[in-house]
Amino acid sequence: MLSHNGPGGWARRHFLAALAAGPAGAAAAQPLAAHLPEVMARPGGADLPYGLPAPQESYVERTLSTTAGFPVWRTPLQHQRGIITPSGLHFAVHHNGVPDIDPARHVLRLHGLVNKPLRFDLEGLMRYPMVSRVHFLECAGNSAANALSPTALDQTLGDIAGEVSCSEWTGVPLAYLLNEAGLKDGAQWVVAEGADGGSHSRSLPLKALLQDGMVALFQNGERLRPSQGYPMRLFMPGWEGNVNVKWLHRLEVTDAPAYTKDESGLYTQVLADGRIERFAFHMEVKSVITHPSGQQRLPEPHGFYEIAGLAWSGRGRIVRVDVSVDGGRSWAAAQLHGPVLDRAFTRFTLPWQWSGRRADLMSRATDEHGRTQPLRSEWKRRYALHSFNHYNAVQAWRVQPDGRVENVYA
Ligand SMILES: Nc1nc2c(c(=O)[nH]1)N[C@H]1C(S)=C(S)[C@@H](COP(=O)(O)O)O[C@H]1N2
Ligand SMILES: [Mo]
């Protein structure tokens, strides 16, 4: 049988070439889709065992930034139409690289304040009943560029706020595993640990895990990508990305949080009065206009355009998105497109007749608990000057008379 991806196949040749070019070359290397013409030119070979986007769409890619000191791959939200992020475009944050895990040897241990410590291999876990849920995942540090000083004026939406994606996650509810192990008196917290080099670990309240936690095994119908924690990760809907421990291999039930390096360092937040916000798990209500957005250009100087975007809340469903085209002086209710799901991306649109004059576009989402996005000035008043986590303020785009769109601090 002909294999394109086996040893010596075209995919492998491409990767070897990218590796030979070094890390910088690898990042800048042409995407696999660029090799499609080569495949399609082969007689009778006009398709692949695992499909790829059209070569003409190969510019739709995650963007890599290493300024944080570790790789951050951002979703190009400005190209997303719909609520599901294609798996290959899911954002990724790796504090200790991506471990190469043999699924046949990977084991998840559950121990601590339990009656019966348990050990699950992948085969064993696969026999448990599973649930499927569509949820967004967002890094606490998403939109940091906007939270800090005005540095992101010439960036795309993905560059600014692409540390959020939305997928269908399928896996085993944590309650099944915790109840099987049996909880001892005093059990209050669970410390989750990953199998990556730095043993990424976070403490989570047991009660919330029993209600909502999942050991996710599938993403959009296929096994998790290595980038998302293959072969298993913790998933907590609506909570900051960091607690969703990838390459999960240990759950320890405890009576108190462990104050791990990952929760006491980067992922705390300093308030304006100097106090520190600890264990702020929820990602708050937020929205972004994807079309038009930063660095796009409206092709005609005036006329009809559909404003489109995505809204989400870590606390529940989106009930309303208001859009302004005059920098927040007046607002109109956008149309929400179903399905409107709990703690998931919700698509919104508003028809717009552009006069051709400079216009400042904004969106402001409200969730079912009546929480509404703050303005940037309101958000900045609450937190210390250098704080940037959990930034959910209104995003503004300026449309210039020549159709250019740029980030603006309104
Ligand atoms: N084991 C492990 N889990 C991890 C991380 C990590 O570096 N190692 N990064 C965390 C951070 S900071 C985020 S935002 C999310 C990102 O999940 P994703 O890469 O699947 O988008 O994973 C979290 N889980
Ligand atoms: Mo993160």
- List pLDDT tens digits, range 63-109: 999 988 899 999 999 999 999 999 999 999 999 999 999 999 999 99
Q: Token pair of 314, please? A: 């870590």
In a domain, 337, yes or no: yes
Of 182, 173, 170, nearest to 208 by C-alpha is: 173
In a domain, 51, yes or no: no
**9 pLDDT exceeds 50?**
no
Is 42 or 154 the better-scoring residue by pLDDT? 154
In a domain, 347, yes or no: yes
Question: Which of 93, 100, 199 for a ligand 1 pocket mutation test, highest count of atoms within 8 Å of Cβ?
Answer: 93
In a domain, 223, yes or no: no
In a domain, 342, yes or no: yes
Tokens 């937020």: give the residue.
286
Domain count, the chain: 1
- Count other C-beta atoms under 10 Å from residue 66's C-beta: 10
pTM of the predicted model as reported, rounded to 2 decimal places: 0.91
Question: Which of 62, 87, 89, 242 for a ligand 1 pocket mutation test, highest count of atoms within 8 Å of Cβ?
Answer: 242
In a domain, 163, yes or no: no
Can you list the pairs that 85-89 forms with residues at least 24 positions away whose Cβ atoms lie under 8 Å? 85/165, 85/166, 85/167, 85/345, 86/220, 87/167, 87/219, 87/220, 87/222, 87/225, 87/228, 88/62, 88/225, 89/60, 89/61, 89/62, 89/165
User: What CATH number does the domain containing 397 carry?
Assistant: 2.60.40.650
Structural domain range at position 312: 286-408
User: Ligand 1 site: residues with CB under 6 angstroms?
Assistant: 90-96, 137, 139, 194, 196, 200, 227-228, 241-242, 244-247
In a domain, 356, yes or no: yes
pLDDT digits 0-9 by tens, 182-222: 999 999 999 999 999 999 999 999 999 999 999 999 999 99
Q: Which ligand is nearest to the CA of 241?
A: 1
> In whole angstroms, what is the distance from residue 222 CA to residue 176 CA?
22
In a domain, 327, yes or no: yes
Tell how far the Cα of 326 is from the centroid of ligand 2, in angstroms.
33
Task: Give the residue-averaged pLDDT of 397-406.
Answer: 96
Tell how far the Cα of 242 is from the centroid of ligand 1, in angstroms.
5
pLDDT digits 0-9 by tens, 319-332: 999 999 999 999 99
Any idea which of 165-174, 187-196, 301-310 has the lowest mean pLDDT?
Answer: 301-310
AA letter at 319: V
